[in-house]
Structure 1
């Protein structure tokens, strides 16, 4: 049974994008609604704070809205949207040249596995570790961070990440390797504490 708030669940992402290009005033909103949670997660992890993530996501969606007719169908619509979001984030980071080291809220993904009522001490340790990882992510190169977010946090393959970032697979691999090496150095003090 289809949810009552999804008026056209039978339309694919590509069909919704095509409808938008053809002038359907609600099609793009439906497409965004389908994917907003993942797009928001990518923007938030890449930008490191809510205001900047919201700005980057808004810029990305305006760009996608305006450039929808340029979608060639070489990849999935979701890959195209993710690429636009990542590029908007990287553009904003490059423009601002500001690196923030603010930890993300512990409930960034509202992950029920992250917090349990069974062992508050373990929950606190997990939250501290997540905060330290997020802070360390904020201290590495933006291109490396984008690659790590897509591959290690969003679970995309190297090929998918390369398509979204518009770079060769080897570039994604090297960015991930360099980013992981940098993260290992930044997180080394936690090893001694554990």
Structure 2
């Protein structure tokens, strides 16, 4: 049985750009699970996530020759996935001429505080996970994407700012507003003795806190 390809991400991308037919597939499979998690948590819809991920990988496949190594290949791939997800959410919003869940009145809530309606207390760990995912989906998509990348995927504020093409202060602001809204929506979960993991992140990790954190990445 053939073992994992020993080449780095940069070497695989360069090989693809040079015409090696299987190099990009190896690169995609190496990071597929994490890219899928970002797409799913950002769109909160499996069909939209699958379409956005496919669009993103087609874009990356075509743009490989333009990669200059200013950022890690994983950062570059995540940026393309996030952009595809946000573009899809914006197109969906425009198509239906209705705001996304949590989008209407978001600016008003930022001025006067988050909405006060709380979901019913969950009865099982599965219910709790569903409540947390539903609360995340209520955020405006820019806040949601920032929190997915910083709090759930472990990227630094600087990395996420580069991915999304905005200033670091903008990412900090989006995360702060998103955490504040989640803290209100999920405040009733703080009484649980052991909140379950939700995609690798415990519910208390979504409460407001200072700074950001990094996870080691391949």
Residue 190 of structure 1, CA deviation: 4.4
TM, length-normalised to structure 1: 0.80
1:52-91 to structure 2, matched below 5 A, reads: 52-91=48-87
Of 164-173 and 37-46, more deviation after overlay is shown by 164-173
Paired with 1:100 and 1:29, the residues of 2 have a C-alpha distance of 35
The CA deviation string for residues 137-158 of structure 1, in whole angstroms up to 9 with x for no partner, is: 1111100000000011111111
CA contact (8 A) 1:99 1:138 kept: no
Q: In the alignment, which residue of structure 1 is the partner of 2:142?
A: 143
Paired with 1:15 and 1:192, the residues of 2 have a C-alpha distance of 49
Number of matched residues? 169
* Structure 1 spans left out of the alignment, 5+ residues: 102-123
CA contact (8 A) 1:143 1:175 kept: yes
Q: In the alignment, which residue of structure 2 is the partner of 1:119?
A: none
TM, length-normalised to structure 2: 0.72
SS in structure 1 of the partner of residue 59 of structure 2 = helix
Query: Of residues 2, 5, 12 in structure 2, which corresponds to 1:4?
Result: 2
Q: In the alignment, which residue of structure 2 is the partner of 1:26?
A: 22
* Structure 2 spans left out of the alignment, 5+ residues: 94-98, 103-122, 194-218
SS in structure 1 of the partner of residue 71 of structure 2 = coil
Q: In the alignment, which residue of structure 2 is the partner of 1:158?
A: 157
Paired with 2:191 and 2:22, the residues of 1 have a C-alpha distance of 54
**1:48 correspondence with 2:44:** yes
1:92-107 to structure 2, matched below 5 A, reads: 92-97=88-93, 99=100
**1:14 correspondence with 2:13:** no
Q: In the alignment, which residue of structure 2 is the partner of 1:104?
A: none
Cα RMSD (Å): 2.2
SS in structure 2 of the partner of residue 155 of structure 1 = coil
Q: In the alignment, which residue of structure 2 is the partner of 1:183?
A: 182
**1:36 correspondence with 2:32:** yes
Paired with 1:75 and 1:193, the residues of 2 have a C-alpha distance of 40
1:164-179 to structure 2, matched below 5 A, reads: 164-179=163-178
CA contact (8 A) 1:137 1:183 kept: yes
CA contact (8 A) 2:100 2:140 kept: no
